[in-house]
């Protein structure tokens, strides 16, 4: 009776040790990079190899014996992978490995192998390796799925790979355009590690529900109103919390440096001697059109795209925008914070020479369940916005890329 013993897991330290891979196809191509990363001295034995393996041979990272397998190839080897699509060759490799007491993985027949390859993932100094001891588990995608779930949770900080010491200071985190899946891994991790989170209205709010109950959440919408007063209050709150030894996450929609006043917070921290770091976010002027299926550039259509804040109308004494220059540009114009002033901006652009038929797309609530796109032109934008009752937040894309995405309009 054959007893189905479980495997004995072990981490092989292969640096500088000979490892032989027999076969030069897809399986070998998938295994060789991991062996190189472990520092192994890799010999590939195969009459033919894939272009990717040939590249590794060319760069001197592996040695290639350009021929069929010979038992003597395994002399001095610590580990062997039989990865040909010929069972007879793999069996010969397995037999030669057995005779030399060398562990051998087989791509064709796990039951004939003396070692199995786990599903491997890494995060920092932790290696996650998942093995299925029973055949139905090995043959399913369960081991890879488990590996992915463990690594994801290590990456996003929802469980720690090592006891974690919180460093006091401020981190500016760009939360992306709204969908909680569109924050970066680094942003999510930093958010989960914070003691205090200072969040804006446009920051992906669903992520706040995942914070641990002991985290202090400060909603910026509840701080005193008025553009300067509110910013001064935010600066004061983040600096004070950091000076009290807390790890503070300043959490905003998109990217903190794109019309996000992030640099004012950097200056306030520096003046107070508070350490501050920045984690960029996916910014809405690119991400929101993309999610709505509109590219901000397209070959042969536009060689530039320009992002402009429309929070002040053309002609406003405080406006820093040269609308005459903008009207002369031929590429894509992306307007942010412009719903209120869009009629005035469209009229000015047409007065300054833009074609009234220039296509426009207004994308509201990008990446949110309520996302919608209103198609228009510069000449009809005012009427279309009023008829469709468009409300912020919205990204307004002006230019021929809208026609590329919506030729029907």
User: Could you give the residue numbers annotated as active site?
Assistant: 200, 222
Query: Among residues 186, 152, 160, which one has the least CA distance to residue 171?
Result: 186
Least CB distance to ligand SAM at residue 282 (A):
8
Q: How far is the CB of 256 from ligand SAM (least distance, A)?
A: 6
Q: What is the DSSP string of 274-334?
A: --EEEE----HHHHHHHHTT--S--TTT-S-EEEEE-SS-TT-TT----HHHHHH--SEEE
Q: Which stretch binds ligand SAM (CB under 6 A): 25-33, 144-152, 246-254, 272-280?
A: 246-254
Please state, in angstroms and rounded to a whole number, the distance separating the CA atoms of residues 69 and 44: 10
> Which of 395, 397, 401, 402: binder of ligand SAM (CB under 6 A)?
395
Between the alpha carbon of residue 12 and those of residues 50, 57, 92, the distances in Å are 26, 23, 24
Asked if residue 169 binds ligand SAM (CB under 6 A), the reply is no
Please say whether the beta carbons of 249 and 171 come within 8 A: yes
Using CB under 6 A as the binding rule, whether residue 128 contacts ligand SAM is answered as no
How far is residue 39 CA from its own chain's centroid? 28
Q: Which of 118, 121, 157, 260 binds ligand SAM (CB under 6 A)?
A: 260
Taking CB under 6 A as the rule, does residue 259 contact ligand SAM?
A: yes
Per rule CB under 6 A, count of chain residues that contact ligand SAM: 23
> Which residue of 80, 394, 401, 405 would you call a contact of ligand SAM, by CB under 6 A?
394
Residue 51 or 369: the one with the smaller Cβ distance to ligand SAM is 369
Which position has the token pair 């205090």? 196
In the complex, least distance from residue 326 CB atom to ligand SAM, rounded to whole angstroms: 16
Which DSSP string do the residues of 229-268 spell out, in sequence order? HHHHHHHHHHHHHHHTT-EEEEEESB-TTSSS-HHHHHHH
Min separation Cβ 396 and ligand SAM, Å: 8
> Which 328-387 residues touch ligand SAM, going by CB under 6 A?
336-337, 363, 365-367
Interacting positions 262-301 with ligand SAM (CB under 6 A): 283-284, 288
Q: Minimal CB distance to ligand SAM: which residue? A: 254
Return the number of the residue (103 or 259) whose C-beta is nearest ligand SAM.
259
Residue 187 as a binder of ligand SAM (CB under 6 A): the answer is no
- C-beta separation of 332 from 398 below 8 A: yes
Number of H helices, E strands in the chain: 13, 17
Contact residues toward ligand SAM (CB under 6 A) are: 177-178, 202, 252-255, 258-260, 283-284, 288, 336-337, 363, 365-367, 392-395
């Amino acid at each position: 009776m054959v007893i189905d013993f479980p495997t004995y897991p072990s981490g092989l330290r292969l640096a500088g040790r000979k490892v032989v891979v027999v076969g030069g196809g897809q399986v070998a191509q998938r295994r060789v990079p991991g062996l190189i990363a472990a520092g192994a001295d890799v010999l590939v034995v195969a009459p033919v190899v894939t272009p990717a393996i040939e590249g590794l041979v060319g760069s001197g990272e592996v040695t290639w014996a350009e021929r069929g397998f010979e038992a003597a190839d395994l002399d001095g080897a610590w580990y062997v992978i039989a990865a040909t699509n010929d069972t007879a060759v793999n069996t010969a490799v397995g037999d030669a490995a057995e005779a030399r007491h060398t562990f051998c993985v087989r791509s064709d027949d796990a039951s004939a192998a003396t070692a199995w390859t786990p599903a491997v993932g890494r995060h920092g100094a932790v290696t996650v390796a998942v093995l299925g001891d029973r055949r139905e588990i090995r043959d399913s995608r369960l081991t890879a799925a488990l590996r992915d779930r463990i690594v994801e949770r290590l990456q996003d900080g929802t469980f720690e790979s090592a006891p974690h010491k919180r460093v006091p200071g401020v981190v500016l985190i760009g939360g992306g355009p709204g969908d909680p899946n569109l924050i970066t891994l680094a942003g999510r991790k930093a958010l989960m590690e914070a003691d205090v989170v200072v969040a804006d209205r446009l920051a992906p709010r669903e992520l706040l529900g995942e914070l641990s109950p002991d985290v202090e959440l400060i909603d910026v919408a509840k701080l005193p109103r008025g553009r300067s007063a509110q910013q001064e209050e935010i600066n004061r709150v983040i600096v004070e919390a950091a000076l009290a030894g807390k790890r503070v996450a300043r959490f905003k929609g998109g990217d903190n440096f794109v019309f996000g006043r992030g640099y004012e917070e950097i200056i306030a921290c520096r003046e107070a001697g508070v350490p501050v770091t920045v984690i960029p976010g996916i910014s809405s002027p690119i991400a929101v059109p993309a999610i709505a299926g509109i590219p901000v550039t397209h070959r042969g259509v536009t060689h530039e795209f320009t992002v402009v804040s429309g929070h002040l109308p053309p002609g406003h004494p405080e406006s820093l925008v040269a609308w005459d220059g903008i009207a002369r540009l031929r590429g894509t114009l992306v307007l942010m914070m412009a719903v209120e002033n869009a009629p005035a901006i469209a009229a000015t652009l047409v007065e300054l020479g833009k074609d009234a038929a220039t296509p426009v797309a207004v994308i509201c609530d990008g990446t949110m369940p309520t996302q919608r796109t209103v198609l228009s032109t510069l000449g009809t934008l005012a009427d279309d916005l009023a008829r469709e009752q468009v409300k912020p937040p919205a990204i307004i894309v002006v230019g021929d890329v809208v026609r590329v995405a919506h030729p029907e309009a």
